[in-house]
Structure 1
């Protein structure tokens, strides 16, 4: 027993020394007011910015500055310096580009970096942007008449394959919104607007643009596969749902990853694809009344006269389904197209908190499709999670916006805590290998040497304990 105790103490000392050494390599040391998050094996993560006001959407400009929408305040520009070209970043300058309280989430930038786009609940705006001077001028309204209660964020997304197309996502007015069943309402849709064809007047959302998809309750995140151009969105599904007068809301319906094909869509007189809401919702748990042949990812009827069979035949099912109420808010691909990172903001409509994490989904680089089957329950691999979700939402981070820089570092805002994290994948082949939560990982490891030493010590300690 004395030998075991001495070995354990030595191993613990070496582990602490390894982590301390790794952390000591970085001059940035921001502490959260909640338990430090847990990082997946093969990743580094560090808290690099605090003190912001509800940071949501983020994007990099051509000069490497991070532009942040502070919901209810405006847009901030942050410039970073780096110690080690990995996660050791310090915000060495920041300024408010514009104070506009109506801005709440959406942000985008033109390919040449000279035009910035952002959105309020009512409008999409553009400005002339000078990255070096840090100025926004010549405000213009591009899209208008989007105001509705309920979901008020309006994601804006420029297609990289067709940069003349500006996509705008608009969510529902309430939990179950009857207006969504009318395509002319503009509710719960993603529409594309041709910037090169716009006249002197703003587009009216409900009466112009091309409907990319409808029946989408609240598709906040939009991304385009960098190789194939396949377009995806992540949808927040409904709350407080019953089936056959039985409460099933704890584990149903699932959140959705929806596939929208490749832009520009073919010209057609047919009705654009409908993804089911509010008549049909996705199955996450099949432990529901009368499941029949329903599997994970199938759509079930929320109300008559729609039937499960009609949901399967008349509406587009999700490509992947995620745990109910995890609230995905953003999706971004790495440069190879092998991983899609998704921010899960976290639940409110669930007895046990779920979400509150950054996850990754493995994609085929060549096909631009998820590697996981449509009925998978394990497609989303945890990357950065709260150490104790029972403390959420009060004492934890809540992921919101994502941005990926030229080094494939993932930047993530936490709106509830006013923070930004940076996450870097250190190992693997870009298709999901090496992911999975490592309970021994620590936020703030400064370099691969410290990570290696820490991993070796943990493995050595594990060996001693196994042998005894």
Structure 2
């Protein structure tokens, strides 16, 4: 009996020490986010954690009159307010803007892990039920403010990606690729959906990005992993951590690229027509590792998850290892800092903010939950060279900042990024429930060949 009591006491002490360490001794960053960014980021030895560092900014929303901050020469206004957790954005040919008002479906599992995740989501402003709606926003008088809105689609299942091809609007629910007959200008879709492809649902990463290929023949769907590093076994990751290519004419699908832990936003660059994706890397390796990234994605490419990261560095936690895959692990093109949570990407050309932003990519960094101090919580610009890739020595340039207040609370968090019909930049803010519009003082005309 005495032995059992001592064992229980020892376990209670161990739990208390672990909780104390988690709450009061989180892993602190030793490098700046800028150092762990660029084409050649500063990579340090991972500091593996049994309990993750938790330092998520508390979501507060924007006080009256407050807004994000842009560089001199650019203005920030609200395109639309009063939305319900706006995430992905899509512009229709007539200039109407679609916004997915959406969130994670109800998460399965309880216990301590479920309780902690629920508390984190509430603190970060993500603990609201999903509206499961795609809303159409229209600026009827061209003043940069949406003065008409309508619920285009309702009763979806955590929708995210959207794409119009021909007479069909394609929507990526968390568990299926759907399409609806649609003509631009219509403000309501009443037709029943046609399901084209089942997608694996559940797990930690619920968003399903969607982009149409340049020729309008293929669709690309991004699917994140179910867990951090295949914690529940590879069987639970079937069909996950990859980008799937769907052929519209035949209905066939195939894996386009894989080993991507959580790819979310995607876009084709306007010059070389390469597919680019932003990817959230793994957790619990300390505040400095590994970097999240953006990369051009080529057919058949393998990016290492769960065994490797950043072009072949070994994650020793994943057993058994796969050393034979190291030489085939593709290195990403540009690091965006550790745990910054990039969620979307848009390119100059579609966005026209002037000569300082004429050749590059705009990336939303939703913000960290497991880095001390927090990183991300802003939108950045990555300058490109004439070869169609980021400038070799470039670092991300802040384009829209000020999402954190002086107390470190999140007034907003950026998600979807697109250009509007005038070339201004629209940014969905799922904490502020607003879409911000970033524009030069005067509209920048499109180039003659666009």
In the alignment, the residues of structure 2 paired with residue 353 and residue 82 of structure 1 have an alpha-carbon distance, to the nearest angstrom, of 40
In the alignment, the residues of structure 2 paired with residue 306 and residue 411 of structure 1 have an alpha-carbon distance, to the nearest angstrom, of 45
Higher strand share: 1
Structure 1, 305-314 or 55-64: larger mean CA deviation: 305-314
User: Is 1:109 equivalent to 2:169 in the alignment?
Assistant: no
2:332 aligned residue: 318
Matched residue SS, 1:196 = coil
Deviation at 1:388, TM superposition (A): 3.7
Deviation at 1:45, TM superposition (A): 1.7
1:300–1:42 CA distance, 2 compared to 1 (3 A): farther
2:177 aligned residue: 124
CA contact (8 A) 1:180 1:187 kept: no
Deviation at 1:109, TM superposition (A): 1.5
Q: 1:36 aligns with which of 49, 53, 67?
A: 67
TM-score normalized with structure 1 length? 0.68
User: Is 1:354 equivalent to 2:370 in the alignment?
Assistant: no
CA contact (8 A) 1:43 1:383 kept: no
In the alignment, the residues of structure 2 paired with residue 126 and residue 44 of structure 1 have an alpha-carbon distance, to the nearest angstrom, of 36
Q: 2:305 aligns with which of 273, 277, 280?
A: 277
Matched residue SS, 1:313 = helix
Matched residue SS, 2:327 = helix
Unpaired segments ≥5 residues, structure 2: 1-61, 103-129, 351-357, 446-450
2:354 aligned residue: none
How does 1:239-278 map onto structure 2 within 5 Å? 239-241=283-285, 249-261=286-298, 265=299, 272-278=300-306
In the alignment, the residues of structure 1 paired with residue 303 and residue 168 of structure 2 have an alpha-carbon distance, to the nearest angstrom, of 32
Number of equivalenced pairs: 347
Deviation at 1:424, TM superposition (A): 2.0
Deviation at 1:369, TM superposition (A): 1.5
TM-score normalized with structure 2 length? 0.70
User: Is 1:409 equivalent to 2:428 in the alignment?
Assistant: no
1:233 aligned residue: 277
How does 1:19-418 map onto structure 2 within 5 Å? 32-33=63-64, 35-71=66-102, 72-73=130-131, 74-82=133-141, 88-110=143-165, 112=166, 114-136=167-189, 137-160=191-214, 162-177=215-230, 185-198=238-251, 209-241=253-285, 249-261=286-298, 265=299, 272-282=300-310, 299-303=312-316, 313-335=327-349, 338-364=359-385, 366-371=386-391, 373=392, 376=393, 378-386=394-402, 388=404, 391-392=407-408, 394-418=409-433
1:310–1:413 CA distance, 2 compared to 1 (3 A): same
CA contact (8 A) 2:377 2:404 kept: no
In the alignment, the residues of structure 2 paired with residue 67 and residue 148 of structure 1 have an alpha-carbon distance, to the nearest angstrom, of 25
Structure 1, 187-196 or 304-313: larger mean CA deviation: 304-313
1:310–1:251 CA distance, 2 compared to 1 (3 A): farther
Matched residue SS, 2:67 = coil
CA contact (8 A) 1:413 1:419 kept: yes
In the alignment, the residues of structure 2 paired with residue 425 and residue 135 of structure 1 have an alpha-carbon distance, to the nearest angstrom, of 33
Radius of gyration: which is bigger? 1
CA contact (8 A) 1:178 1:278 kept: no
CA contact (8 A) 1:236 1:256 kept: yes
1:402–1:417 CA distance, 2 compared to 1 (3 A): same
Deviation at 1:413, TM superposition (A): 0.3
Deviation at 1:106, TM superposition (A): 1.4
CA RMSD in angstroms comes to 2.9
Structure 1 runs, 4 residues or longer, greater than 4 Å off:
31-35, 178-184, 304-312, 389-392
1:175–1:63 CA distance, 2 compared to 1 (3 A): same
In the alignment, the residues of structure 2 paired with residue 171 and residue 353 of structure 1 have an alpha-carbon distance, to the nearest angstrom, of 23
What whole-Å deviation, never above 9, does each CA across 1:409-461 have from its counterpart, x for those lacking one? 1111011221100112569x99xxxxxxxxxxxxxxxxxxxxxxxxxxxxxxx
In the alignment, the residues of structure 2 paired with residue 387 and residue 168 of structure 1 have an alpha-carbon distance, to the nearest angstrom, of 29
